[in-house]
Amino acid sequence: MRKAWWRPRQADSSSDAEPCGPRPSLLDEAETLTSEAVRAVARGDDEAFDLLVAALADRPDVPGWPLVTARCLAARLERGVALAWERGWQPADVVRYAARRRGARHGRLAADAIAAEMRAYSAATVAAQWREQLALIGAEVWWEDDDEHPDAWCDREGTDRAGFVACGAELVHLLEGLPRLASIGPPPGTPLRETPVRDGFEGVDQRMLGKVRALLAKAESTEFPEEAEALSARAQELIARHSIDHALLAAETGDLGGPAGRRVAVDNPYDAPKAVLLTVVADANRCRAVWHRELGFSTVLGFPADLAAVEMLFTSLLVQATAAMVHAGPRRDARGRSRTRSFRHAFLNAYAARIGERLRDAAGEAANRAAADAGGKDLLPVLAARDLAVERAVDAMFPNLAKGRAGSVSNYEGWVAGRAAADLASLNGRSEVSGASRRS
């Protein structure tokens, strides 16, 4: 039976357990060895690390040693997760970064450490965005007892105790070295406001939202570009209407809610052109995207409904672009050498550039249509005020932000193919979503 992530910690009630736990000298020794192993990772000293892992994994001459080391490592991992929250990281960020830097196995252990650490917080102090991420990464206590977790984890991962210790020590090093990020939401344990921070399509008819997702899914799966264009245009029309209505309603009611933020994965390979694609989509939706290249994601700032639109559209366009890129097949030069990587890099750069052009071309027309549909309401100042609020949020969160230059493209064939694919991408219905007042 799988347990919810907020399951309370269990008291050790076994009859053969030590009344006061392991004696301090053993705990001290385990903590010293764990710290030395983490430092060996930092130094890149593989030989020392292997010896320390072996010493932590098993000492036949010391009864109960595996239990001592397991508890020590678990405590260190949970402290590392708590430190990540203090530094502005969120659950999905931690798991994604661990998997990116170390591998999928480290990502899964990070999810377990997060599930264990989250038991320290009341569910009432965990924001909806965090609960959504915890469910997405599978952060739940799936093991029956904390002391049994290492063996259960080894069985699941097909490894031995040394493999668990090595993975744990490497993950501790990663967690304790995380850089500080700008906070985009309250960490767990923070008393939530009576009116929760809104995230996404709050107050929206869920049937409409389901239609949007279904339309985009069909657009991504069809083999016919014309059908994909029609499906996506209809989905974008629904999203656009919600975004415009939301802005007008907020202005009428004096809603004081401001911009929010979310982090969107920008994965290898070809992360640079993917980041460009996210940037142009964000700009079109009155949001701003800031790429953290070494961390594998972008921080997108904007009003909640617009953020949801950015993520949905970016995901759909990326799926369409990737399918078209793969369909184009590999490339070789006249001497038979592979040119596939340069072709695909150019393809995605051209795709993003062309999408940006189409959005800019549609911006003027979109402003006129949105203003006409507003029923006499002065929409342009409302959207301009929201743009200004987003810009100020970016300046406050990233005061030292530097603009990067687009990378060079060396494959002309890939560039041409990418622009052609962008022309077939489903953006015709995005005119309203693209917004009225463009930032220069």
Give burial (CB, 10 Å; 0-12/13-18/19+) of 77: buried
- Quick one: pLDDT band at residue 304, thresholds 50, 70, 90? confident
The total of structural domains in the chain comes to 2
Looking at the fold, whether 157 and 297 belong to one and the same domain comes out as: no
More confident residue, 108 or 303: 108
- Cα distances (Å, whole numbers) of residue 22 to 18, 54, 121, 143: 7, 20, 26, 22
More confident residue, 88 or 422: 88
Q: Would 6 be classed as within a structural domain?
A: no
Confirm whether pTM is higher than 0.75.
yes
Q: Would 418 be classed as within a structural domain?
A: yes
pLDDT at 385 over 80: yes
For residue 260, the model assigns a pLDDT of: 92
Last residue of a domain, one of 176, 197, 217: 176
Q: Would 345 be classed as within a structural domain?
A: yes
The 10s digit of each residue's pLDDT in 48-74 is 999 999 999 999 899 999 999 999 999
The 10s digit of each residue's pLDDT in 256-281 is 678 999 999 998 888 999 999 999 88
For residue 265, the model assigns a pLDDT of: 93
The 10s digit of each residue's pLDDT in 306-344 is 888 888 888 888 888 888 787 777 766 555 566 677 888
Last residue of a domain, one of 128, 154, 176: 176
Strand 260-265 relative to strand 297-302, pairing? antiparallel
Looking at the fold, whether 168 and 212 belong to one and the same domain comes out as: no
How much helix, strand and coil, in percent to the nearest 5, is found in the chain? 65, 5, 35
Looking at the fold, whether 295 and 161 belong to one and the same domain comes out as: no
- Quick one: pLDDT band at residue 425, thresholds 50, 70, 90? low
Looking at the fold, whether 273 and 323 belong to one and the same domain comes out as: yes
* DSSP letters for 124-150: GGS-HHHHHHHHHHT----SS-GGGHH
Looking at the fold, whether 111 and 71 belong to one and the same domain comes out as: yes
For residue 401, the model assigns a pLDDT of: 79
Q: Would 189 be classed as within a structural domain?
A: no
Beta-bridge mates of residue 292: 297
Task: Determine the number of helices (DSSP H) and then strands (DSSP E) in the chain.
Answer: 15, 3
pLDDT at 181 over 90: yes
* Alpha-carbon span 289 to 10, nearest angstrom: 43
Looking at the fold, whether 264 and 212 belong to one and the same domain comes out as: yes
Looking at the fold, whether 160 and 288 belong to one and the same domain comes out as: no
Looking at the fold, whether 228 and 82 belong to one and the same domain comes out as: no
Looking at the fold, whether 57 and 157 belong to one and the same domain comes out as: yes
Domain region containing 354: 207-430
* Alpha-carbon span 322 to 318, nearest angstrom: 6
Which of 218, 310, 318 has the alpha carbon at shortest distance from 267? 318
Looking at the fold, whether 34 and 165 belong to one and the same domain comes out as: yes
The 10s digit of each residue's pLDDT in 224-262 is 766 765 566 566 566 656 676 777 777 777 776 789 999
Looking at the fold, whether 262 and 149 belong to one and the same domain comes out as: no
What percentage of the chain reaches a pLDDT higher than 90?
45
The 10s digit of each residue's pLDDT in 13-35 is 343 444 445 555 899 999 999 99
More confident residue, 322 or 295: 295
The whole-angstrom distance between residue 41's C-alpha and the CA centroid of its chain comes to 26
Q: Would 248 be classed as within a structural domain?
A: yes
Q: Would 305 be classed as within a structural domain?
A: yes
Looking at the fold, whether 214 and 106 belong to one and the same domain comes out as: no
Q: Would 283 be classed as within a structural domain?
A: yes
For residue 199, the model assigns a pLDDT of: 44
For residue 360, the model assigns a pLDDT of: 61
Q: Would 435 be classed as within a structural domain?
A: no
